[in-house]
Amino acid sequence: MKIPMRWLNEYTKIDMKPEEYARRMIMTGTAVEGWENTAKFTNVVVGRVNTCEMHPDSDHLHVCAVDVGGENDLQIVCGAPNVKAGILVCCALEGASLPGGVIKKGKIRGVESCGMLCSGPELDVPDYLYPHCGNEGIIILNEDYAPGTPVSEIFGLGDDVIEYEILANRPDCLSVWGIARESASVLGEHFVMPEIAYKENGRGTFADYAKVRIEDETDCPRYCAKIITNVKIGPSPKWMREYLYGAGMRSINNIVDITNFVMLETGHPMHAFDLSKVRENTIVVRKAHEGEILKTLDGKEHVLSGDMLVIADDKQATGLAGIMGGEESEIVNDTASVLFECAAFERGNNRVTARKLGIRTESSGRFEKGVCPETCKEALDRACMLVEMLDCGDIVPGMFDNYPNPAPVKTIKASAERIRRRIGVDVSTQDMEEILLNLNIDTETDGDTLVCTVPPYRQDIEGEADISEEVLRMYGYDHIPSTLMTGVTMPGFRNEAQSFGMGIKRFMVGLGFYEAQCFSFISPSWIEKLDLPEGDARRTPVVIQNPLGDDTSVMRTTLVPTMLNALALNMNRGNDSARLVEVAPVFMPRGEGELPDEWPYAVLGMYGDGADFYALKSAVMCLCAKYGLRPDVAAGGDGYYHPGRKAVLTLRGGSVKLGQMGEIHPLVNEKFALPERAYVAEIDVRALKTCAVELGAVKPLPKYPAVSRDLALVVNEDVGAGTLQSAIERAAGKLCEGVKLFDVYRGERLGMGKKSIAFTITFRSLDHTLTDAEINAAMDKILSAVSKNLGAVIRA
Amino acid sequence: MQDKINEIRRRALSELVSVTDSKALDDIRVRVLGKKGELMGILRSMGQVAADMRPLIGSWVNEARENIENAIADAQKAIAAKEMQRRLEKEKIDVTLPVKERSEGSLHPMSLVLEKLFDIFTGMGFEAVEGPEVEYDRYNFELMNIPQNHPARDAQDTFYVDDNIVLRTHTSPVQARIMTTRKPPIRIVSFGRVYRADEADATHSPVFHQLEGLVIDENVSMGDLKGTLDTFARRLYGEGVTTRFRPSFFPFTEPSAEVDLTCAACRGKGCRICKDTGWIEVLGSGMVNPKVLEMCGIDSKKYSGFAFGMGVERLSNLKYNITDMRNLYENDVRFLKQFRT
C-alpha cells in the first residue's frame, strides 16, 4: 500500500526524514517496504521558447533559444512537431536526471544543444496529472509560469510516497486514516479526523429514487447507500489527482475518483452505480443463481455458482459484491444520477468467489482481509462531503443503512501480571494503561486487572495475548531481556529415522557419491516414460489439484525419474561423470480422504568414468554390508532397466524386497534425453532399516591355521557365478571361512554354452588344526550340492 | 716367511681399500682367507718349517687373518652403505607430481546446514521430530489458528490434494501433532520439506526446507525465546552475534516477532549482504497463541510457550553465497562438488 506523505500529514504530523519514520514504524510492527519520490526527474524547469528556427541540416529538427530564468538563453535542439516560439515548456537542464537517463550537453547534427524540451512520457507524467501532456509532442504549459520555476511544483510532484506492507492482522491500516492513526500513536502525535459535514441539497429522499433489498445478511452484514442527482461528470481537481497518482491509482473522473479516494482514505471500498441503468431502480444483494452469467467492468463474462454473493437489480446480477461491478451500470460521461454503495461483505465469501473467478481487485483484496462494518456510514458520508466539495452533484437527503446486527463493544479483561510474565519485560501497570490509551484502547485499571475497550476497527484484538503484544510493541521489543529457560531439563536427541537416513547419505558420500535433492512432485508423463505395467501402483500417484504446471503436478511414487533428469542434466551440460544419491520419501495414495503412505527410498545414479553395473552393485553391496546385510541378487527387475543388466535385491530368503538396480534401458534413455549409459539403484530404506542387523559381539582372532582349496567348476552359461558361490557357501558347512571367485573361463574345450568358474575356498576351525579328512568331507558335500542343484562338474 | 705373510696382508689390505662391490670383496676373501686361500697355503706349507718356528709363524698368520677379516668387515659395511644409498637414489620419486587432492562425494548444502542446526538445538535439549509432508488441512492450518478463508492463507499459497489435504506449507503441523498427543513440558524442533505455490526463480522455490522449534512449559516468557535464539545465533555464527526482535504477525503466535541476526559477513558494520543494515532477517517467532494451545488440548492458563521457525535455504544461501535458488535442486555436480562433508 502506497501513501503520499502529504496526504498523511493532513491528519497527523510526520515531521522527519523517511528513513527515521520507516525505522520507527518498523520497530512497532508496521512494515515499510521503501519510499520513493513522486517526481521521477530532477533539474527540469519552466522554459520560454524565445526563438525557434529550422535546423540547417534537418527537415524536422528545430534550434530554439530558451529562457530558463538565467542570464542567457540556452540553445536547444528540439525534434517535437509542436515546438514553436512563444510557448512555455518543460526544459531539462544539463545534468538533469530523467527516467530515461541523464541529460548531457552535445551536438545534434552539428548544432550544439544544451538541454532537452520534454514530453509527458519523458518525465513519466501521465496525462491525468497534466491533461494533454501525452501525445502531441512536448508538454506545452497553458498557465503563465516564470521561466526557471521547477516543473515538479507545477505537477504537484516531489512528495515522498511511503510503501507499506500491511500484515494480515491489521486491515485497518490499509487506509490513509489507519496509517495516520497508527503513525500518530507511534510518534506521540495526534490523529485529527476531518469534520464530516455536508448539506443535503437534493430533492426528495432516498426511497423516492431507489429500493435496496438485502437477501443475505450473513455475507452482507451492512449495506449503506446514498443518492446523488444532477451529476456533472468531469475531471477531479488537481489535488485529488495528485493524491491518487501518489497512491498508484489512475484518475478517471470526479465520481469514480471520489469512490477510489474514499477507499484509500477510509479503507472502505465503494461502488458507484449509474442509477438509470439499474432496472426498476432496485438493488438486491443475494446469492447468484447457479449458472447465472455476468459481464464485469473489465468486459469478461463469468458463469456464477450459487455460493457467490452478487449485487443484482430486479432481473439479474449486475456486479460481484465487493469484487467488481458490472459493465452495464458503469459510470459514463452522461451519467446523471448515481447510487453510492458502501457496504461490508463477509471476507470468506469474498475470498472464495474472487479465487474461483480468478479476479483480484483493490476492493476484493480489502474485503478478503476484513472491512469493519462499523465505519461504513462514516466512509459514505465522507464521499458525500467530497461531492459537495467538488460540486459535482446534488446530495439527496436520507441514507439507506441496513445493519441488523451491530458488533457489540469488545471489552477485554487482562491481568497485568500475566502480561509481564508473558512478555518477560517489567512494564508497570500504569505504563501499560498509558500505552493502551495512546492506541485508542480505553483502559481502566482495577488492581492487577486492565479493563480494555477495543475500538471497532481493531478486529484483531481478541484477548489478553493480543493486549500483551500491543503493550510490548509500543514499549519496545528491544526491551525484551535474554533469559534462559527454566523448568525440567530435557535430553535433546534425534529420532532413529533421521539418524538412519543421514547414515545412508554419509556412507554413500564416503563412496564418492554427491547428495542430490530433487523436487517431490513430478510430471505424470515422467512416470509414463518408465513403461510400468498396467495396474502398477506407481502409475497412480497423489495428484495436486492446483499445480504450478504439469512438471510439478503429482507426488513422486518413485525417485527414478527425477534421478534420470538429474543425470541427463549433468550429461547434457558436458560433465563427464556423476555419481548421485538421493534419500527422500515416495508417496503412495491410500484411501479417499486419507494421507498417503510416505516412506523413504534411497536412489543411486551414476554414469561416466568407472560407472558400470558392477561398480554400482559394489556400492549397493557396501551399503548393505554397513547394515550387516548381504542381499540375494537375482537377474530381473522393472522394464525400464536393460533386460540383460538388471537385478532385484531381496533379503530374508526372498521374503523382503529391498530394491532393484541396473543399467537403464536404451529406449528409456532416449525418452529422458540421456546420451550415455546410466546406472540406477533403488533401495527401500524402510526395508533396509527393518532388516538391519545391529553389530553385536565380535569373533576372537583365530589361533589355528587356515587351509585353502581351489575348485574349478564347469556349469551352463545361464548359471550365475553369484548363484554358484552362494550354493558353495551354503553347502560348505561351519568350517568354511570364505569363498572367493578368482577366474571365469570360456573356451572350445569346455564346449558351447559352458563356462568354468574357479573359487578359492578357505577352511578353518577355531579350536583345532584341520585334518585332510575334514576338508575332503566338506569338499565332497560342496561338489554333490552344486552338481545336484546347478549341474556343476569339476573341470577336467 | 714373515715377508711372504706381510706381502699377502699388504696386498689384501690395499685391495680392500679400493673394493666397491660385494662380489669383488667376496673374491678377495676367498683368495686370501678361503680353504685354498693364500693364508691357508702358508699354514699348509708349515711342514717345511722348523718345528720351533711353527708357533711363531702360526701367530703371524693369525694376526694377518685378524687384520684382513677386520678390513673385510669394514669394507662390507661401507659397501652395504653404498648399495643402500644407490638403492635409495634409484627409488627417488617426484613428490610434486599432482595427485587426486580430495575424495569425491559430499552432502547437499541443505543437509550440511541442517546438521549444524540439529547439533545446536539437540545440544540445547530439543528433540528433533518429523511429520508427513502431505498433511491434513486441520494440522497445517486450523490448529495453527488459520481457519478456512483466513487471509493468512494467502501468504502461504497452498497446493491442495483435496479439500482437506494439502502439501504442508510449513513444518508447524508437526508441532500440532506433538501438542495434541503429548503433555508439557515439550521442547522440540521439527524440520523438513515444505511446499508453496511459488514459481521457481532465483529467490523462490516451490519446495524448500524449514526448521521450527517449540517450547511449552510453565512460565515460559518472551525473554526465554530471546535467550534461546541468542544462544542459537552465537552457536551458528560465533560470539558477538546477537538478535534483534521486530513486531510482526503470525496467526499461531501472539506476540509475534521477526528476528534479525547480526550480519555474519560484516559483524553488524553494514555490507552488501545485509544491505548496509548490519542485520539479516532469518527467523519468525513468538509466544504460542493461547488459542492454539487450547485447540490442541493444552491448558493455556497453566502453560505458555514459544515457537520459532526459519527457512533453511535462507541460511545456506547466506552461508555459501548462493545467489540462485535453482542451483539447489538441479543437482549439477559442478555445484555439488564445491561442498565438503
The ipTM assigned to this model is 0.85
- Check for a shared fold between A206-402 and A707-794: no
Lookup result for grid cell 469493519? A372
> What are the two backbone dihedrals, phi and then psi, of residue B111, each rounded to the nearest 5 degrees?
-65, -40
Q: What is the pLDDT of residue A487?
A: 72
Tell me which residue of A547, A550, A529 sits closest to A538, measured CA to CA. Answer: A529
Q: What are phi and psi of A665, to 5 degrees?
A: -55, 135
Q: What pTM was estimated for this model as a whole?
A: 0.83
User: Could you tell me if B201 lies within 8 Å of chain A, comparing CB atoms?
Assistant: no
Share of chain B above pLDDT 70, in %: 98
Q: Cα–Cα distance between A50 and A32 in angstroms, integer?
A: 47
Angle at A480 between CA A476 and CA A481, to 5 degrees: 150
CB A504 within 8 A of CB A685: yes
- Supply B337's cell numbers: 562438488
Q: Which of B106, B134, B162 to mutate to test the interface with A (most CBs of A within 10 A)?
A: B134
C-alpha cell at A664: 537403464
DSSP B3-19: HHHHHHHHHHHHHHHH-
B 143-162 → A contacts, CB under 8 A: 148-152, 154-155, 159-162
Sequence-distant (≥ 6) Cβ neighbours of residue A397 within 8 angstroms: A200, A202, A204, A205, A206
Question: pLDDT-derived band of residue B319, with 50, 70 and 90 as boundaries?
Answer: confident
Size of interface A-B (CB pairs under 8 A): 262
d(CA A385, CA A115): 45
Candidate CATH numbers 3.40.1190.20, 3.30.56.10, 3.10.129.10, 3.40.50.150; the one for domain A410-473:
3.30.56.10
The pLDDT score that the predictor gives to residue B33 is 87
Closest CB to A27: pick one of B246, B255, B333: B246
What pLDDT is stored for residue B49 in this prediction?
Answer: 81
Can you tell me the distance from the alpha carbon of B332 to that of A570, in angstroms, rounded to the nearest whole number?
6
d(CA A272, CA A256): 7
Pair A394, A229: CB distance under 8 Å? yes
- What tens digit of pLDDT does each residue of A636-680 get? 999 999 999 999 999 998 999 999 999 999 999 999 999 999 999
Helix (H, G, I), strand (E, B) or coil at A341: strand
Q: Which residues of B touch A492 (CB under 8 A)?
A: 121-128, 187
> How far away is chain A from the Cα of B265, in angstroms, using its nearest Cα?
23
Element (H, E) at A66: strand A62-67
Backbone phi, psi, residue A774, to 5°: -65, -45
Consecutive H or E run containing B172: helix B172-181
Q: What is the pLDDT of residue A598?
A: 96
User: Could you tell me which residues come within 8 angstroms of residue A548 by beta carbon, excluding any fewer than 6 positions away?
Assistant: B197, B198, B199, B206
Closest CA to A479 of B194, B24, B245: B245
pLDDT of the residue at A133: 63
Alpha-carbon span A240 to A387, nearest angstrom:
12
Measured CA to CA, the distance from residue B80 to residue B66 in angstroms comes to 21
From residue A617, give the alpha-carbon distance in Å to each of A503, A567, A612, B104.
Answer: 19, 18, 9, 18
Task: Kindly identify which residue of chain A lies nearest to residue B332, measuring between CA atoms.
Answer: A570
Which CATH number applies to A707-794?
Answer: 3.30.70.380
pLDDT exceeds cutoff 80 at B17: yes
DSSP state string for B290-326: HHHHHHTT--TTT-EEEEEEEEHHHHHHHHHT---TT
Amino acid of residue A69: G
Dihedral sign for Cα atoms in the order A310, A313, A318, A322: negative
Q: A550 near A522, Cβ under 8 Å?
A: no
Give Cα A57 distance to the centre of its chain.
Answer: 56
Task: Give Cα A617 to chain centroid, integer Å.
Answer: 42
From CA A660, how far away is CA A649, in angstroms rounded? 5
Positions in chain A short of pLDDT 70: 132-135
- Residues B156-213: tens digit of each pLDDT: 689 999 989 999 999 999 999 999 999 999 999 999 999 999 888 988 899 999 999 9
Q: Is A644 helix (H, G, I), strand (E, B) or coil?
A: strand
Residue A417 phi/psi, 5-degree rounding, is -65, -45
Q: What pLDDT is stored for residue A135 in this prediction? A: 66
Please tell me which residue of chain A has the smallest CA distance to B129: A495
- Pairing mode, strands B160-162 and B165-167: antiparallel
In whole angstroms, give the CA distance from residue A684 to residue A598: 12
Q: Which CATH architecture has domain A496-691?
A: 2-Layer Sandwich (3.30)
Compute the distance between CA of residue B217 and CA of residue B221 in angstroms, rounded to an integer: 10
Neighbours of A644 (CB within 10 A): 9
CATH architecture of A42-154: Beta Barrel (2.40)
Q: Which residue of B has its CA nearest to A555?
A: B134
- pLDDT reported for residue B188: 94
Please classify residue A450 by burial: count the beta carbons closer than 10 Å to its beta carbon, then call 0-12 exposed, 13-18 middle and 19+ buried.
buried
Residue B81 pLDDT > 80, yes or no?
yes
* Selected residue of B102, B161, B242, B281 to mutate for chain A interface (largest A Cβ count, 10 A): B161
Domain A2-38+159-187, CATH class in plain words: alpha beta
Interface probe for B, chosen from A347, A356, A489, A509 (most Cβ of B below 10 Å), is A509
Q: CA–CA separation, A477 vs B115, rounded Å?
A: 31
Identify the CA nearest to A596 among candidates B138, B166, B247, B17: B166
Q: Where are the domains of chain A?
A: 2-38+159-187, 42-154, 206-402, 410-473, 496-691, 707-794
End-to-end CA distance of chain B: 84
Q: What is the C-alpha separation between A498 and A507, in angstroms, rounded?
A: 14
Q: Which residues contact B195 (CB under 8 A, 6 or more apart)?
A: A520, A521, B133, B158, B159, B167, B168, B169, B206, B207
- For cell 441539497, the residue is A201
Distance spanning both ends of chain A, measured CA to CA? 92
**Is the Cβ of B240 closer than 8 Å to some Cβ of chain A?**
no
Residue B126 pLDDT = 94
Nearest CB to B152; choose among A168, A505, A570: A168
Taking CB atoms and an 8 Å cutoff, what residues of chain B touch A516? 108, 331, 336
| Strand-pair category, B207-217 with B304-311 | antiparallel
Q: Has domain A206-402 been given CATH number 3.50.40.10?
A: yes
Contact A341, A363 (CB under 8 A): no
B contacts of A424 (beta carbons < 8 Å): 221-226
Give the strand pairing for A493-494 and A514-515.
unpaired
- Cβ distance B118 to A494 less than 8 Å, yes or no, reads yes
Q: Which of these, A461, A372, A447, lies nearest to A416 by C-alpha position?
A: A447
